[in-house]
Chains A and B, each alone.
Chain A
Amino acid sequence: MTEAVAGKNLVGLRFLMMGTAALALGVVFGVIGGFQFLYPGFLEALSFTSTRPLHVSLVVSWIFLAAVGGVYYYLPNKVGLPLWSDRLPRWHFWIFLVTGLAILGHYLAGKFGGREYFEYPAMLSVPIVLSWLLFGINYFKTAFRHARQWPVYLWMWGTGIFFFMFTFLEAHLWLLPFFRDNMVREITVQWKSYGALTGSWNMMVYGTAIFVTGKIAGSEKVAHSKLAFAMYFLGLAGLMFGWAHHTYLVPSEPWIRHLAYAVSMSELIILFKILWDWRGTVDCHKRNAHCNAYRFFVAADYWILLNVLLAIAISVPAFNLITHGTHVTVAHSMGTTIGINTMILLGSVYYVIREELPMTVRAACSKKVSFGFWTTNVALLVFFSSLVMAGMVKGLFDGGAFQQMMMEIRPYLVVFAASGVVLMLGLWVLLYQAFKQLWKILEANRHVGDAKVEAKPLPA
C-alpha cells in the first residue's frame, strides 16, 4: 500500500464548503416550512410547494457533498492514492454548482417537475448524471490503484457511488411510457429506487465514519475487520432488497417490512458497536488532538442508540399499533439524517480542518464549536422528543373529532417548530466555523493549487 504523500490535493475542500453552505441554507427553508405547517398564512410570498423542495434538495445535497468532498480529499491525502484525474473533480464541482443553482432558481420561480425528491424539471437531471459519472470514473480508476485487499471504506464508497447512479437512473424510468402508463409499476419502481437512494448515501456516510475514526485512532484494523464487512453486507442487502425507508406505507405483508427493518437495524447496531469499541482505542492524546472531530462521532453513537431503541419499540406490534402513521416515523427520519449522518459528516469536516490547520486549530476543543455542538444536540433532542410525543398522543387518542386531536397535539408541534429554530442556530455556528476555516485553508494553499500528488510506496 502507498501511504506517504508529497504535495496536496485540496479539491475536496471546495465540495465541503459547498456542502456546509447548502445545509446552512437548507435548514432555513426547513424552519419556514415548519411554520407554514402550523400557520398556513406564514410567509405567503414563498409557497410551501417551493419551501419543501428547497429544504429537501439542499439538505440532501449537504449529505452528498460532504461525503463526496471527503472522498476527494481522503483518497490522495490520507489513503495515498493520487486521484486518477485532477481535472474531472473541477468539472464535477462546477457542473454541480451551476445545476444546483438552476434547480434552486426553478423552485423559487415555481417551475416544478413534481417528483418526490426530484421536484425540478427532469431535464436538469442530465447534468447531475454527467457530474456523478465523472466522479464515479475518477473514483474507480483511483481506487483500483490500491494494490492490496480493499479496506471496507473503499468498498462502501464505491458501492454508494455505483448504487446512487443506478437508483438515480431508476427513479427516472417513469419518463418511459412502458413505466408511466402503468401506475402500479410506476409507483412501485419509484419506491424501490428511493429505498436504494437512502441506502446509497448511508453507504458513503458509514464508509466515511469508519475511515475517519480509524485515522483518529491511528489504526486500519477495523477497516479490515469481519465486523465491518458484516455491516457492509447487511447495508448492501438492505439497499438492494429492503426498499429501506419507504416501505412502511406499502400495503405489503408485515413480515416483509419487519425483515427490512431488522436488516437496517442490525446494520446500525454494528456501527454502534464499532464506534463504541473505537472510543476505547482512542487514547487521551489523540482524543485531545482531534477533540473537535471526536465528539461528533461520540454524538453519532448516542444518536444511533436512540434511533435503534425507537426502531425496536416501533417493531413491537403493541407499540406499532400506537405509533403507526404518526410523527414517530418522522422522528426516526430526522433522528437518523441529522443525529447520525450529519454528526458523522461534521466530524469528518472538522477532522479535515484539524489536519490542514494544525497550527491555528488548537488541540483542545474550540469554545465556539463546543457551543454549536451542544446547542445542536440539545435542540435536536427536544425536536426529536416532541415528534415522538406528538406521535404517541396521536396514536393513543381514542375516537373523537380530529379537530380535537389536532388541538391536543398542537403544543408538541409548537415545541417542535421552536426547537427547530434553535437547531438551525446551533448548526449555523458549526457550519460557519467550518466554512471559515475551510476558506482559510484554501487561501493558505493558493500557491499549492491542486498540484499533482505524488505517492511514494511505503517500504513493505
Chain B
Amino acid sequence: MTAIFFVYSAYVWTAGTEAPQHAAPTEQVMRGQALYQDNNCMACHQFYGLGGYMGPDLTNVVSRMGPDYARAFLIAGTERMPDFGLNQQQMDDIIAFLEFVDTMGVYESPEYEFKWYGTVVAKND
C-alpha cells in the first residue's frame, strides 16, 4: 500500500498537475507572492477555499471585480481588513500576483457565502 502511495504521490506532483498552457511567474509575481505571505493575507483569505474565513476567496477576484477594485482594499483596508501600509510598487506586485493566480483556474463558489463567525462574502454579484 505504501508503494502505491509513493507512485501516486509522484503522479500528483508531476503529470497529475501539469499546466502546460501556463506561463512561469514573472519577477513581479514572485515579489507579490512574497508580500502576500509576509503579510499573512492567508489568515483571512482563501485560494480555492483554502485559508482563513474572515474575508472572501481571492482566487478570481481580479477577473470578477477588476484590478482597481482589488487595489481599493489594499490602499486603506476596511473596517475588518487592516491597512498594511503598502507603497504603490508593493500594491502593483500584489495585484500582479493575484492576476497570476486568477489565470490559473476558476474557483466556483455559491452565489453568496456566509463565512463562519458571520463575515459576509460577496460572490459573483
Chain B residues numbered 87-113 whose CB sits less than 8 Å from any CB in chain A: 100-101, 104-105, 107-110, 112-113
Do the beta carbons of A188 and B52 come within 8 Å of each other? no
Chain B residues numbered 37-95 whose CB sits less than 8 Å from any CB in chain A: 37-44, 47-52, 54, 79-80, 82
A353 to B95, CA, bound (A): 55
Do the beta carbons of B42 and A114 come within 8 Å of each other? yes
Do the beta carbons of B12 and A48 come within 8 Å of each other? no
Do the beta carbons of A409 and B114 come within 8 Å of each other? yes
Chain A contact residues: over half helix, strand or loop, or mixed? helix
A149 at the interface (CB under 8 A from B): no
Do the beta carbons of B47 and A187 come within 8 Å of each other? yes
**With A185-B19, A190-B50 in contact, do A406 and B114 touch (Cβ < 8 Å)?**
yes
Chain B residue, CB-CB nearest to A243: B12
A251 to B118, CA, bound (A): 24
A180 to B34, CA, bound (A): 11
A52 to B121, CA, bound (A): 19
Chain A residue, CB-CB nearest to B34: A114
Do the beta carbons of B82 and A47 come within 8 Å of each other? yes
**With A188-B12, A241-B8, A413-B117 in contact, do A114 and B36 touch (Cβ < 8 Å)?**
yes
**With A189-B17, A249-B50 in contact, do A114 and B118 touch (Cβ < 8 Å)?**
no
Closest chain-B Cβ to A53's Cβ sits at a distance in Å of 7
Do the beta carbons of B40 and A183 come within 8 Å of each other? no
Closest chain-B Cβ to A459's Cβ sits at a distance in Å of 36
Closest chain-B Cβ to A259's Cβ sits at a distance in Å of 15
Do the beta carbons of A182 and B42 come within 8 Å of each other? no
A191 at the interface (CB under 8 A from B): yes
Chain A residues numbered 216-259 whose CB sits less than 8 Å from any CB in chain B: 233, 236-237, 240-241, 246, 248-251
A387 at the interface (CB under 8 A from B): yes
Chain A neighbourhood of B9, CB < 8 A: 170, 192
Closest chain-A Cβ to B31's Cβ sits at a distance in Å of 13
Interface size class of B (residues with CB under 8 A): 35 or more
Closest chain-A Cβ to B77's Cβ sits at a distance in Å of 11
**With A47-B82, A48-B54 in contact, do A182 and B117 touch (Cβ < 8 Å)?**
no
Do the beta carbons of B112 and A325 come within 8 Å of each other? no
Chain A neighbourhood of B117, CB < 8 A: 34, 37-38, 413, 416
Chain B neighbourhood of A405, CB < 8 A: 114, 120
A240 to B7, CA, bound (A): 11
Closest chain-A Cβ to B5's Cβ sits at a distance in Å of 5
Closest chain-A Cβ to B85's Cβ sits at a distance in Å of 12
Do the beta carbons of A49 and B40 come within 8 Å of each other? yes
Chain B residue, CB-CB nearest to A404: B120
A111 to B51, CA, bound (A): 18
A 157-190 binary contact with B (CB < 8 Å = 1; else 0): 0000000000000100100000111111101111
**With A48-B54, A184-B19, A192-B12 in contact, do A37 and B114 touch (Cβ < 8 Å)?**
no
Chain B residue, CB-CB nearest to A34: B117
A173 to B82, CA, bound (A): 30
Among A113, A119, A181, A409, the one with the most B-chain Cβ atoms within 10 Å of its Cβ is: A181
**With A112-B38, A187-B50, A249-B49 in contact, do A48 and B43 touch (Cβ < 8 Å)?**
yes
Do the beta carbons of B116 and A327 come within 8 Å of each other? yes
A287 at the interface (CB under 8 A from B): no
* Contact for B116 among A187, A237, A330, A403, CB less than 8 A: A330
Do the beta carbons of A114 and B24 come within 8 Å of each other? no
A351 to B122, CA, bound (A): 49
A 26-67 binary contact with B (CB < 8 Å = 1; else 0): 000000001001101000000111001100000000000000
Do the beta carbons of A179 and B13 come within 8 Å of each other? yes
A76 to B42, CA, bound (A): 42
Among A48, A179, A324, A330, the one with the most B-chain Cβ atoms within 10 Å of its Cβ is: A48
New contact pairs (9) apart from A183-B101, A184-B22, CB-CB < 8 Å: A37-B119, A49-B44, A185-B19, A188-B16, A192-B12, A240-B5, A249-B48, A387-B116, A409-B114
Binding site for B on A (CB under 8 A): 34, 37-38, 40, 47-49, 52-53, 111-116, 119, 170, 173, 179-185, 187-192, 233, 236-237, 240-241, 246, 248-251, 324-327, 330, 387, 390, 394, 397, 402-403, 405-406, 409-410, 413, 416
